[in-house]
Structures are given as structure tokens and as C-alpha cells.
Structure 1
Amino acid sequence: MATLSLFLTLLAGGIAALSLCSALVVHFKSPKPRPRDDSENYSLCIDEKHERQRLGSLWDEARVDLSIIVPAYNEEERLPVLLNDIREYVANRRESGGFSYELIIMDDGSKDKTSEVALEFARIHGICELRVVKHIVNRGKGGAVTQGILSATGRNILFCDADGATRFSDIDALLAKMNDGPVIAIGSRNNQALSGTVVERSHLRAFLQWGFHTYVTLLGVRGVRDTQCGFKLFSRRAARLVFPNMHVERFIFDIEILLLARYQDISVVEVPVNWHEVAGSKMSIVRDSIQMALDLLAVRLNYMLGNWIIAESKD
């Protein structure tokens, strides 16, 4: 009897401690996205009048074939590589037929010349489709992606990292997975053995990715082997289901995308892409890994406890 009493006491104590920890994580780590400043409803481009242009809306009818959203924070050195890769891809697409696009650089409160570099590239190459949105303060990668996609006018919408780590022409493999329904095609760095694609990654990054994937699986996010690759394509219908419901503005936002896709029965397919590690990452391996682990726990708890309700689509 004494042993059973001790066991029950320890069990009650463990449950109480777990509940307290969960409450603290939800209270202190739940993201609270800020509303847009009015200036963030406008973009800069190289039009003749040099006037700000009001952004479109995800709820408008699609006006171009593809929207490309690039979150950028202090990317003046790495961004031109990606921009040139996109320029070459677009030129090749237009040789084989009509192709319309928009390229939105989400300057997420940069302290360098990210915006100026992007606009100068557009001037040099005559890219009228390139626009720059400047955030008054840094939101985080997830916030920049979300705000960009909420303003996209493409039938399909891609976000890709500013470092150019993924070969941009691999988007064709993602586009091949699109259909009339809600679909998300995810670039994957884990299928190279099956596909012949090339992935160059340091041993430390590979180990951390394995550990993170294990943690994500334990928290119930299964079925996707590479959740964090910064090369994801959304049909317009899928984007309308996912991004109005987004809360996370930091690195863990990819996981919330996948959770929202699962809750709403959106098709998610992984597609092998060519990828190489690029120097200059803004991510701190130790600090941000701990931050991501806590943020992921907060996200999972908020959905499990019903604190975050998924709004019905207007589509």
C-alpha cells in the first residue's frame, strides 16, 4: 500500500510539473505577430516614376504564373547569386513560351544595403518584375515569408532562401507536382541517393538536421523527411488555406506550415533538389537550435490545447 501511495504521489507530482512547464512554454514562447505598418503595404521597384506601389493580395485573382518570395535579412553579398540564377531561369522559360512572374524581395529590417542591391540588380538587367518590401523592424524569416505570400498574385507561389543554396531551375520538378487542388511541393535534401541530385552539407549540419528531425517526429509531425529546406512551392489554393492562419515568425515556421497542411488535408509532396551549404548563415547553431525546440513545443501545445483555431478559407 505504501509503495502504491508513493507511486501515485510521484505520478501526481510529475503531471503537475509537466503541466506547469507546458503552461510556461505556452505563455512565454507563443509567438505574437505584430500588425503590418502602413508602409509595409507598399513595394519599391524600377518603374519610371519611382513611386511606391501598393501590394497585391492573396485573395485577389491570380495575375501571373509564378510568385517568387525571397526573405532577406542583411543579404547584400549573397543575394545577387540567387537573383542571377532566377534571371537565367526566366530567360530560358520565356524562350520556350509565355511565362509571367513576380519577384518580391522581403527586406526584413536589414541594416545593410540589401534593398539597394536588389533594386540596382533590377535596373542593370531591366527587371520590372522585381519589387522590394521593407519591414520597419525585423520579423524573422517566417514573418517575412508569410507577409510576402499574403501579398502574392501568382497562380503558384514559391519561397526560396536568399543564399542561392538550391539550384533555382529545380523549381520545374516542383511545378510538375501542381494541380487544381491545394498542393504543397517541398524541396528535399534527403532524397539525393534516389534521384541523383547533389547535396553538400557539413557533418555538423547533417547531425543537427538528424537530431531536429527526430525531435519533430516525437512531437507528432511525421511523413516529411526534410522540413527545413528553404525551397517550397504552394498552389494558390494551398497558400490561402495556410498563410492566413500562420502564427510563427521565426525559423520554426516551416513546421507550422506542415501542421496546417495536415489539419486541412492539403497534399504535401517532397521533391529532391540540388543543394549546397553557403557561408554567411544568420543562424546561431546552439542558440537558435534551443530556440527552435522551445518554439516547436509551444506551437504543438497551442494547437493541441485549442488555443489556436484554424480559420475557414474564404476560397
Structure 2
Amino acid sequence: MTSVSEAHRGARRVELGHTPPLRLAFGTAHSGLRHSASGASRSSAVAPMEESRAPVGSPREPEGRSRPRNKYSVLLPTYNERENLPLIVWLLVKSFSESGFNYEIIIIDDGSPDGTRDVAEQLEKIYGSDKILLRPREKKLGLGTAYIHGMKHATGNYIIIMDADLSHHPKFIPEFIRKQREGNFDIVSGTRYKGNGGVYGWDLKRKIISRGANFITQILLRPGASDLTGSFRLYKKEVLQKLIERCVSRGYVFQMEMIVRARQLNYTVGEVPISFVDRVYGESKLGGNEIVSFLKGLLTLFATT
């Protein structure tokens, strides 16, 4: 059985330099992982990525009883993320604790054979079941259905979706929240292709595939957003529910269809530049089958929207 301490040692390797050649320092979970969620805010600061500084002037949840307090439910679909999960959870807890926002983290594991579920169970005990909710499924059933499953258990009025493999740093979440509040946006999407956003750790092939897919999509679908294939977003809960009801795609096309359907329904979309970093541990799940499925899905959306 995989223990959190084993995964914790993996997190330690991140700090010691076993990272992709982008000189990224996520920080370490050496103290926060063994403490409660409330103690996470007293942990040492997470070192920011060199290529992108953490947002300045991040908003805090306003005090007072004049209105219900917002709650943010983070959905983390996982499959073979045993080594990454403890660190991403620690970073999330730290970010929310420091910013003062009310939150919960819902882990939807799709029957990972590497022991991800065992690690998630330990994290639930460490931080408390009010903050970490494990809602597993028996097998891999797809990203869209993972979100549906997670939303059934979400108590927040806002939903945040992100990857569990450390590609998305939680330090950007306060900026998402600030952007949403400024424009009362229905959706706030992280973008790699606008402002100081970027991609780090990918080889040339991955960059060409991503840029090419985004370029073709912009021409065919005119979505009104700069990054359609990204999966780091904040939604109003009721908006996400309606979009999922309308979407028919599976796999990586699902994220793209969400933005296209949002445009059809006249939902507003704000964007925040982010740094996307290739996964620290494990293997990418993007393969030839996913690329073929993406092209088929793109043509289907072009014909039906």
C-alpha cells in the first residue's frame, strides 16, 4: 500500500531539483502534509515559478454577514497520480488558507492501479473530510462524467477544475477569483496563449500539436477565447451544470466543446494568463488515439455549431 510519506518523499525530490529543465520550484510539502488544513497557512511560502510571478494583491473573502460566503469546490479527476496528488493537495490547501476563501477539494479517482486511491484516503484523514472528499469510481469513465460525478458531491457555488499532475499551479486561483468578481464572469479560463501565459517543459512536437490544434479550432469555431484545450477553469456551478448537459464530447475534446457551448448560450468568459508546466511525475495521457479523437470531435463541432 502506498503511503503519503512515500509520495511526500517524491515531493521532496521536486525541491531538490528532479524537475523538467525549466528550473521550476513548486516548494515542498515537508511540513504542511503532516499538519491540519488550518495549519497549512503557517507553512513556509511556496517558491513561485521563475517564468511567472504569483499574482499580486490577491483578493480575500470579505468579512461580514451581509451575504452568504462563497465556497469554491475544486474537482480533481485522477488516474495514476499517486506521486503528484499529495503535493497538489498541499499547494491547494495552502493557497486557500492564505487567501481566506472557503473551499473543498473533491478527488475523483477512476480506479487507478498505482495506489492513488490509498494516498487520497490518507489525505482525507490528514486534512479532514470537510476539506478533502474522496469520491472514487471503479474504472476510467472519462473526464466529462468525472465532473458530473464530482458536482453531485460539491457544496460550493463555484467550481474549479484543474489537472492533478502539477501542470496547473494553485497560486493562480486567487487571480481567477478576482477576475470573476471584477466582471461577474460566468467562466474564467486559464490561458497559455495570451499575455504572459506560456508552456514550459514540452518538447517541440507537443508545442506544435497544441498550437496547431488551437489555431485550427480558432479558424473553424470562432470561440471568442484564446485557449480552448486548457483545463484550468472556474465556473459558476449552475453554468457548469448547464454546459455539461449540452456537451456530447468525450476526452480532450470535452474542454473545447465547453467553451463553444458557452458562446452559444451567451455565457461570459474571462481569461487569466497562466504558466502551464509539464507533469513532474508520471506519463502524459495524450497519445495517438487522443489526437485522432480530437480531430473527429473538432469536425463534429464544426458541423453542429
Return the index of the structure with the highest Cα Rg. Answer: 1
Residue 121 of structure 1 deviates from its aligned partner by 1.9
- Native 8 Å contact 1:182 1:237 kept in 2: no
Change (3 A) 1:66 1:151: same
Sequence identity of aligned pairs in percent?
Answer: 25
What is the aligned residue count? 235
- Native 8 Å contact 1:184 1:266 kept in 2: yes
- Native 8 Å contact 1:187 1:231 kept in 2: yes
1:72 aligns with 2:70: no
1:190 aligns with 2:193: yes
Residue 181 of structure 1 deviates from its aligned partner by 5.3
Moved segments of 4+, more than 6 Å:
none
Which residue of 145, 148, 154 corresponds with 1:146? 148
1:89 aligns with 2:95: yes
Partner of 2:241: 240
Which amino acid in 1 is paired with 2:252? F
Change (3 A) 1:106 1:63: farther
- Native 8 Å contact 1:186 1:271 kept in 2: yes
Which amino acid in 1 is paired with 2:187? I
Say which is worse superposed, 176-185 or 153-162, in terms of deviation.
176-185
Partner of 1:253: 254
d(CA) in 1 for partners of 2:218 and 2:198? 25
- Native 8 Å contact 1:67 1:104 kept in 2: yes
Classify the secondary structure of the residue corresponding to 2:179.
coil
Classify the secondary structure of the residue corresponding to 2:292.
helix
Deviations 1:263-293 (A, max 9, x none): 1000012211132111524424333111211
d(CA) in 2 for partners of 1:229 and 1:299? 17
Which amino acid in 2 is paired with 1:67? S
d(CA) in 2 for partners of 1:165 and 1:152? 23
1:200 aligns with 2:200: yes
d(CA) in 2 for partners of 1:270 and 1:289? 25
d(CA) in 2 for partners of 1:137 and 1:127? 23
Deviations 1:81-108 (A, max 9, x none): 21111121122123xxxx3211111112
d(CA) in 2 for partners of 1:150 and 1:263? 25
Partner of 1:18: none
Classify the secondary structure of the residue corresponding to 2:139.
coil
d(CA) in 2 for partners of 1:208 and 1:131? 35
d(CA) in 1 for partners of 2:88 and 2:228? 21
CA RMSD of aligned residues (A): 2.3
Partner of 2:175: 173
d(CA) in 2 for partners of 1:245 and 1:267? 17
Q: Write out aligned runs for 1:52-71 (5 A).
A: 65-71=71-77
- Native 8 Å contact 1:79 1:163 kept in 2: yes
Classify the secondary structure of the residue corresponding to 1:177.
helix
Q: Write out aligned runs for 1:3-42 (5 A).
A: none
Deviations 1:187-244 (A, max 9, x none): 11122xx33x564142222111111112212332432221122210002342233122
d(CA) in 2 for partners of 1:114 and 1:205? 26
Q: Write out aligned runs for 1:128-143 (5 A).
A: 128-143=130-145
Which amino acid in 2 is paired with 1:102? E
Which residue of 139, 162, 170 corresponds with 1:160? 162
Classify the secondary structure of the residue corresponding to 1:154.
coil
Q: Which ranges of structure 2 fall in alignment gaps of 5 or more residues? A: 1-67
Deviations 1:99-149 (A, max 9, x none): 321111111232221121112123234463111111222112232123323
Partner of 2:266: 265
Which amino acid in 2 is paired with 1:128? D
d(CA) in 1 for partners of 2:132 and 2:211? 36
d(CA) in 2 for partners of 1:235 and 1:251? 21
Classify the secondary structure of the residue corresponding to 2:71.
strand
Residue 164 of structure 1 deviates from its aligned partner by 1.5
Change (3 A) 1:125 1:222: closer
Say which is worse superposed, 149-158 or 224-233, in terms of deviation.
149-158
What is the TM-score of this pair, normalised by structure 1?
0.68
